[in-house]
Structure 1
Amino acid sequence: MASSSSRDGGSPWKKHSCRSSGEPPEEKQLRNWEDLPWEVTASIFSRLMATEILMRVQFVCKPWFDICKDPLLWRRINVVNDREAAVGRLCRHAVDRSCGGLLDINIDYFGTDDLLEYITDRCVQIKRLRLARCYHVSDAGLNNAITKLPLLEELDLSLCTFSKEPLKAAGRCCPRLQSLKLNRQGRIPCFVDPNEGLEVNENAFAIANHMPELRHLQLLGDRMNETGLQAILDGCSHLESLDLRHCHGIELKGKLKKRCIEQIKSLQLSH
């Protein structure tokens, strides 16, 4: 690839190398971003938001545009935006560029049922799905998406309003699911009556009854009590890590505390 020294005006992406204070100014060295190996540049781009690549990076120069079209760059898509009206369209464009090879996607704020359907109709190899503050995704929309992701290994639902039904669907349709994260902190009362019945334990029972292969479980701010925790320990015998921070309905003591310590390698509690 030609360096900027052969072009009029050089490249805007040059930067000076570090030098000692005693080095003469005329000996300073210039480095051109275009001289980086393709693999290094692609690795850097893969750490950017999808919107940054599609709206800025790909327009810098022709070599960068070619890199940004490579499906390998779009195996992981991260889109966080709550203002841009066009962000849904950009996310679809990123999905198209993956050519079905998408493995990991994070959607924050702007998710909808239609967008999830678009993604999962085209990318069935997804191993990690994260939805955060996606208040316009319904139970039915998430259920429909999950049924098309048999290779899903990690499901992360943060500050969303889903019921237990998507958890059941994940247990039925995703036999490789090993990690589940539910962050309800800030969306429900911090303190609950530990004597409440089935309703506070509905997530725990759905997990216990449908996800026997789980290795990692995070339930931030869940309302379950000791009954729900007991069900999880019984139903998910392979659990290695359990995060129950802000689960104030659980008073861990006695035999239940002893069992948690013996069965779980990494245990995080509210207290």
Structure 2
Amino acid sequence: MSSSLASSSKLPLNSEESETRNWLDLPRDVTATILLKLGAIEILNNAQRVCTQWRSISNDPVMWRTIDMTNSSYIQKTEFNLGIMCRHAIDRSHGNLIDISVEEFGTDDLLNYITDSTSHLHRLQLVGCWDISDEVWIVVSKKLPLLEELDITISNLSKDALEAIGRCCPLLKSLKFNMQAYKYQHIECDEEAFAIAKTMPELRHLQLFGNKLTNDGLLAILDGCPHLESLDLRRCLNVNLGGSLGRRCAEQIKDLRNPNAPTDDYLYDAEFDTDESFDDDYSYGMSDIDILSDDEYDYYGFSDGSDYDAYDDILLV
């Protein structure tokens, strides 16, 4: 063999071939870490269909200890019922689920399914989930003894449900209870603040974006939650942090976001809702999302249980 041929045989693969080879040769744990960054919806819809190795990794229960289904760009695009997809992801965790995030498609049935499927849940995030009732919250709270972080953003949760959560979740350290900001200052309500102050003494972090609490509610929280380190009161227009209350907040709270603080880093809609046609308790400006009809549900062959073979078949087409 000539020296030129010998040297050419040792030339590196072109960039495309090298990239393909490297993806396939990555250690399993590295590939798993990359796939986790995609989120549950992307894994179920696309990533697990790439190759046998990715399919195997996607079925590993370790991959489903954390389930993130807040990729809202998929909500209007996916042909699947996201509630069914979420149940499928939960089943893959085999009871090891510790952290789950759901956006807009949460229901009573789904919340029951989540809390019946794991006893280890540490973090729960529900964004825009209007279809979860107080009655179910009161029941499922009893199944969340290890819960440390709860994010309920834009919902119709009442003080009764908040009290049940506080009583049943003694380890709760972080609560986000956010609403669409309501422009009219004269609508005041301290019920949620009083419920938090009464039942959540171990809170370290509290976000009440757009809440209707007054200075009375804030004072109750400062008294009832002595360990608070951060408090977000942005868009809470009934709160006045002047005088002694402002001084107490500054002394007691390390990280305080006042009602007029910038909202640039707030992940959801920070605009005021000015539509007076809404009932006061439901004026958060959220709209329902489309879900599959009963006929479409039957068409795809899904059941209410945990048999999702048909779902896998559809994904692998």
**TM-score, normalised with respect to structure 2:** 0.73
1:50 alignment counterpart? 40
1:225 to 1:62, Cα distance in 2 relative to 1, 3 A: same
Compute the displacement of 1:26 (Å).
7.0
Offset, 1:145:
2.2
**Is the aligned partner of 1:207 residue 2:196?**
yes
- Out of 125, 132, 148, the position equivalent to 1:137 is 132
Q: Give, in angstroms, the shift of residue 153 of structure 1.
A: 0.3
Matched residues in 2 for 1:170 and 1:266: separation? 24
User: 1:113-262 to 2 correspondence within 5 Å?
Assistant: 113-186=108-181, 189-193=182-186, 196=188, 200-262=189-251
Q: Deviations over 1:88-117 (max 9, x none)?
A: 111111000001111110010111101111
TM alignment of 1:23-62, pairs within 5 A: 28-29=14-15, 30-31=18-19, 32=21, 33-62=23-52
Spell out structure 1 runs of 4+ moving beyond 4 A: none
Deviation string 1:117-171 (CA, Å, 9 cap, x unpaired) is 1111011111110111111111112222222011000010111111112211111
Aligned to 1:71: 61
- Is residue 127–residue 153 contact of structure 2 (8 Å, CA) maintained in 1? yes
Cα distance, 1:210 vs structure 2:
0.3
Going from structure 1 to structure 2, the CA distance change for 1:82 and 1:144 (only over 3 Å counts) comes to farther
How much has 1:85 moved relative to structure 2? 4.5
Classify 1:45/1:224 alpha carbon distance in 2 versus 1 (closer, same or farther; 3 Å): same
Cα distance in 1 for partners of 2:43, 2:96 equals: 18
Structure 1 distance, partners of 2:82, 2:251, is 47
Opposite residue 169 of structure 2, the aligned amino acid is: C
Alpha-carbon distance between aligned partners in 1 of 2:14 and 2:159, rounded to the nearest angstrom: 62
Contact 2:174 2:204 in 1 (8 A): yes
2: CA distance, partners of 1:62 / 1:143: 43
Identify the range of structure 1 (37-46 vs 74-83) with the bigger mean alpha-carbon deviation. Answer: 74-83
Distance between the aligned counterparts of 1:190 and 1:228, measured in 2?
19
Q: Cα deviations across residues 196-236 of structure 1 (Å, max 9, x unaligned)?
A: 5xxx0001100000000000000000001110010000000
Structure 1: segments with no counterpart, 5+ residues: 1-24
User: Higher relative CO (CA 8 A, sep ≥ 6), structure 1 or 2?
Assistant: 2
Deviates further, 123-132 or 75-84: 75-84
Stretches of structure 2 that go unaligned for 5 or more consecutive residues are 1-10, 261-317
Distance 2:47 2:38 in 1: 9
- Among all aligned residue pairs of Structure 1 and Structure 2, give the percentage whose two residues are the same amino acid: 50
Q: CA RMSD in A?
A: 1.6
Q: Does the CA contact (< 8 Å) of 1:190 and 1:221 recur in 2?
A: no
Equivalent residue, structure 2, for 1:18: none
Q: Which has the higher strand share?
A: 1
The answer (yes or no) to whether the contact 2:48–2:55 under 8 Å persists in 1 is yes
Q: What letter matches 1:76 in structure 2?
A: T
